[in-house]
Amino acid sequence: MSKTIRIGTRDSQLALWQAKTVQKQLEKLGHKTELVPVKSTGDLVLNKPLYELGITGVFTKTLDIAMLNGDIDIAVHSMKDVPTVLPKGIVQAAVLKRGNIKDTLVFKNNEEFLSQKEGIIATGSLRRRAQWLNRYPTHTVVGLRGNVNLRLQKLENSNWNGAIFAAAGLGRLNIKPELSINLDWMIPAPAQGAVMVVAMEDDEETRAICAEINHEETEICTQIERDFLNLLEGGCTAPIGALAFIKDNEVNFKGILLSPDGTKKIEVTRTEKLGKHKNIASFCSNYIIERGGKRLIDALKIETSKTNIYSTKSFTETQQQLFNDNLVVESHDAIKISPNRIQPAVFKAPIKNVVITSKNAVESIVTNHPANALKFENIYCVGRRTKKLIEQKIGAVTHSEKNAKSLAKYLLNNIDGSEITYFCSDLRLDDLPSILEAEQIKVNTIEAYQTKYDSKKVSNSLDGVMFYSPSTVESFIKQNTPNGIAFCIGETTAKEAKKHFSDVRVAKIPTVESVIELVNEHYI
């Protein structure tokens, strides 16, 4: 066949391994494929609200939107990360043969602590935490997030006794810690170790191709586990474990629901003949619910609904919908922008080197002077969105960098001449002018707009605050005590946040949507 199947994937090491595995299996059958690493949600356009389409998954939203936009034909996911109800128009097209389903304990020194009263274990999974505390109630469990390599490094640099990982993830990355054991007693997450391929429901050709790599036994077992999870109304934050396997023509199932602290546990097992297994999930979920499971789930919903995030920039409706459902988010513009009247004389003569570090400066320039009459020979800027706006409203950009410090370093080596005109705010927190002036480059500063602090007083019990510029940090601090995690759009903003917050996180891409993704991944 002539169709090239575009395989959408996130760009993490594990996601790429999974996508390449699907690619190899399809190409082995003679199909043409292309890997498409998908950009952040902020670079994608969707003509319908997310809630209308049922898009909810923290780790799957970006690929869902890319597929609905027609940018990819299929998407590849760790199946345990996929919401039990898929977005409208997207269906499960294949499940690969399952890998290792077990959880693995990687310990720092030895296993002696397992028989001792004191012990410190790290995991970011509520399911693993609850099962560990149920078995070792006197131990301490601490949070652990990040990719596999980062988590292993945190273990190495800590005073913890061990950390828990998915055996499948370690194996797929070819990581084989010497000091590790499989936790045979721990019931895994529903669909752990499985890889799912999804496609558009109306794309019959692609779905037929994907069916060729579907592993039926894995499909049967993971469907039971996911149905069990769905019927218990549990998301990825619920301490729910489920495992189905086929042996001697029988489907064996065991499931578990616990309280977050591990003090309460409800277990169920069931065996049915293959072909007569359709009601296993409903029987087992009802068994759990009737024995106090509903109370545990309802209590957990109340507990997990208390995560409060405050944003120093107001969100659009679409941006608000990108947040994990477990988050309570409030947004307000912490700064107000007021364009200045720039003297006409500034624009009369040609300006050889212009520096612009924000979209606000662009808007102020074109408000003061017709864009087609501007005589800017070289335009240097900070940020891809500022660059895009300059190209739309003024003209070509000579060079751009991610932050002002990087741009200053670039100008030191590449500027044509020894003078720049810098259009900026009355509040300047970047190092660009001082770096250039220290090297005898003249900086003509033009205050294009005013930045006014306008932050509101918020609760001291915040779990996190989102910042988008150094000014938003300063504005927030004038009214509030720094509590929780600072989620920042870039390094310059993070530098200011670190003066006040002990825990500062930086988005991979300098967009509002990327900061939202950063928040979602922390509070999954």
**How many helices and strands (H and E) does the chain possess?**
19, 24
Residue 150: CB partners within 8 Å, gap ≥ 6?
none
Give the span between the Cα atoms of 301 and 215, in whole angstroms: 35
The tokens describing 134, both together, are 């149920």
Specify whether the CB–CB gap between 39 and 517 falls below 8 A.
no
Burial class (CB in 10 A: 0-12, 13-18, 19+), 65: buried
Element (H, E) at 198: strand 195-200
Residue 90: CB partners within 8 Å, gap ≥ 6?
64, 67, 68, 198, 199, 200, 201
Instruction: Find the catalytic residue in 81, 333, 431, 463.
Output: 81
315 residue type, one letter: F
Give the span between the Cα atoms of 240 and 325, in whole angstroms: 18
Give the span between the Cα atoms of 492 and 43, in whole angstroms: 22
| Sheet of 240-247, strands arranged across | 240-247, 250-258, 265-273
| Residue 9 phi, psi dihedral angles, 5° rounding | -155, 150
Give the span between the Cα atoms of 328 and 317, in whole angstroms: 15
CB atoms within 10 A of CB 246: 15
Residue 419: CB partners within 8 Å, gap ≥ 6?
352, 353, 441, 442, 443, 444
Helices (H), 1-135: 13-28, 50-53, 61-68, 126-135
The tokens describing 185, both together, are 């007693």
- Give me the sign of the Cα torsion angle 33, 39, 43, 48: positive
The tokens describing 41, both together, are 């949600």
Specify whether the CB–CB gap between 329 and 396 falls below 8 A.
no
Beta bridge partners of 451: 337
Give the span between the Cα atoms of 61 and 514, in whole angstroms: 12
Active site residue 81: yes
Q: How far is CA 289 from CA 236, 260, 266, in A?
A: 18, 17, 9
Specify whether the CB–CB gap between 438 and 320 falls below 8 A.
no
Helices (H), 240-313: 280-288, 294-304
Q: Is 117 helix (H, G, I), strand (E, B) or coil?
A: coil
Question: What residues act catalytically?
Answer: 81
